[in-house]
Structure 1
Amino acid sequence: MKSLTTTVRRSPGRFTLAFLLTAVPLLIALLGPLFAGEPGPRGASFTLGDGHWAGTDFVGRDVWRQVLLGGRTVVLTALSATALAYVVALPLGLMSALTHRGWLEELLMRPLDVLLAVPSLLLILLAAAVFAPGAAGLALLVALVNIPDAARIIRATAAEAAARPAVEALRMQGETWWRMAVGYVGRSALRTLAADAGTRLTGVLYLVATAAFLGVGVAPDAADWAVMVDRNRTGLFVQPWAVVLPAVLIVALTMGGNLLFDAALTGRGQRRTPLRKPLPARKEIRT
């Protein structure tokens, strides 16, 4: 019997919105320093005009120039922290899911549970009070607090695939751990990991911005979007652009990244659903 098919498609408008929300702040963050130019003479604090279309900040610097300079630290720190967290969490989660030795799983996961119980921001503040990290140190700290949760999600996702008969067949054939972990189990958990990566990157961006807002990892007068929000908040009702512009860029980047991952997953997950023709109605036979 022939069947009709229909395709579940992602919304192009939603994908376009997600792309724009992500691309605009990302381009400003990465390419902004190339167009920032030389610093001009400082004006009065929290003023509009005088050659500064977005006004001046709390020390009289041009707000738009600070916006062009201030995104690279936030973006690169967040991306580095997210990538580093998965570099450590992925092998830990896969090893825990594939091992048949209970003691090894306990050895791998229980220390992570202890670290997971400590609030992430508290851990960052305590470490910053002792080591006074820079941007690289902040990326390491943010990655450290994300490793336990990422490893648990990877372990839980990979455990279902690791229990399939195919994995046991690969073991009996003498396949390497790398082939089983990455070639089969890792590929089976790829969609879940991609969804987690979008959500985790959003959380990491907020955590990096919050740490910078509190003065962790960056100088108090640095050109940084989060520092701009912190230092200029006293003039919010006098010169709002010094706070609104960096805050909107941070929010747009986090929302856009999450929506973009979701739209990409929807596109990968579209499937063709068969729609069979309805069966003809039965004729009643009267006697």
Structure 2
Amino acid sequence: MNPPKAPLRRYAPGLALVAVPLLLALLGPLFAGPPGPRSVSYTAGGGHWLGTDFAGRDTWRQVLLGGRSVVLVALAATALTYLLAVPLGLGAALTRRRWLQDLLMRPLDVLIAVPSLLLVLLVAATLTPGPAGLTVLVGMAAVPEAARVTHAAAVEIASRPAVEALRMQGESWWRTAVGYVARAMRRTLAADAGIRLTGALYLVATAAFLGVGVQPDAADWAVMVDRNRPGMFLQPWPVAVPALLVAALATGTNLLFDAAQQNRAAHPEGTAR
């Protein structure tokens, strides 16, 4: 039986926060239009209802163009994190060879001690700026923590009699790891995904703010915050609007994942298989 639908109010805060930044990120470039003449004035007026940025470009047009890079890179980086972390965690949890478990997990313990942003900055110093490189950097920076979460959840499930029964029946590693263990820990991974995606959003924005992975004059929300700071007291919108959009997207994403977990906890019979 399918679980009853959670009341809309459970999801309403998260939806309200993510709706605007997501729509701007996905659809904004379609409505940005061609670049107009640049203005030497920060103030609003002359068709620039949010004023202009440090380069005299229309702030609203930059907002429409600047979200796609942040959102798509964060989503792609999160997907890459789990593509790498889940097999690592499952492999270490299901192996009966202690040396192999140590070989897989001990290097990750060392990397966890290094701040993710520091790793991104160190590696990015040797790479050409671009969204593809930033995606790889952010995705791999989150692998150690995601792999540890996967491993911790998988170890408990792998100790169940059902897993031993599957092994005695000669079931393949894929069926045991993916068909049973991964399915049993999907709620843990779903809860962790909210944290990873939020972390990716902040890391992408911070890296762009520091000029890592993007051009210094790119249409990017984080770059807008960085490049327009000197004129913030003259014209706050080029800084305030993109900063609020990034914060709303990150906070709303966490609220949505929390609401989904609360719904599953309230109706466990609907998620059991």
TM-score relative to the length of structure 2 = 0.94
Query: What SS is found at the alignment partner of 1:41?
Result: coil
Query: Deviation digits for residues 164-204 of structure 1, max 9, x if unmatched?
Result: 00000010111111111111111111111101000111011
CA contact (8 A) 2:129 2:215 kept: no
Note the residue ranges of structure 1 that are not aligned, 5 or more in a row.
1-6, 274-287
Among 117, 130, 133, the residue aligned to 1:134: 130
Q: Which moved more, 1:167-176 or 1:126-135?
A: 126-135
CA contact 1:78–1:205 (8 Å) conserved in 2: yes
Query: d(CA) in 2 for partners of 1:209 and 1:87?
Result: 22
Aligned-pair distance for 1:220? 0.5
Q: SS of the residue aligned with 2:114?
A: coil
Q: 1:272 to 1:159 in 2, by over 3 A?
A: closer
For 1:131 and 1:42, the matched residues in 2 are separated by 32
Partners of 1:213 and 1:220 in 2: CA distance: 9
2:166 matched to 1:170?
yes
Structure 1: how far apart are the matches of 2:171 and 2:264? 29
Partner deviation per Cα, 1:224-254 (whole Å, 9 max, x = no partner): 0000000111111211111111011100100
RMSD of aligned alpha carbons = 1.6
Contact 1:22 1:257 (8 Å CA) reproduced: yes
Percentage identity across aligned positions?
A: 67
Indicate the larger mover: 208-217 or 22-31: 22-31
**CA deviation digits over 1:58-77, x for unaligned, max 9?**
11100000000000100111
Q: Is the 8 A contact 2:77 2:136 kept in 1?
A: yes
Residues of 1 paired with 2:59 and 2:73: CA distance?
22
**Structure 1: which amino acid aligns with 2:27?**
L
Cα shift readout 1:9-57 (whole Å, capped 9, x = no counterpart): 8553241121121122111101110100011111124211111111111
Instruction: State whether residues 198 and 251 of structure 2, in contact with CA within 8 Å, keep that contact through their aligned partners in structure 1.
Output: yes
Match of 1:278 in 2: none
**Contact 1:9 1:270 (C-alpha < 8 Å) held by counterparts:** no
Taking structure 1 as the reference length, what is the TM-score of the superposition? 0.89
Equivalent position to 1:186, from 175, 182, 197:
182
Give the aligned partner of residue 144 of structure 1: 140
| Larger Rg computed on CA atoms | 1
Name structure 2 gaps, 5 residues minimum: none
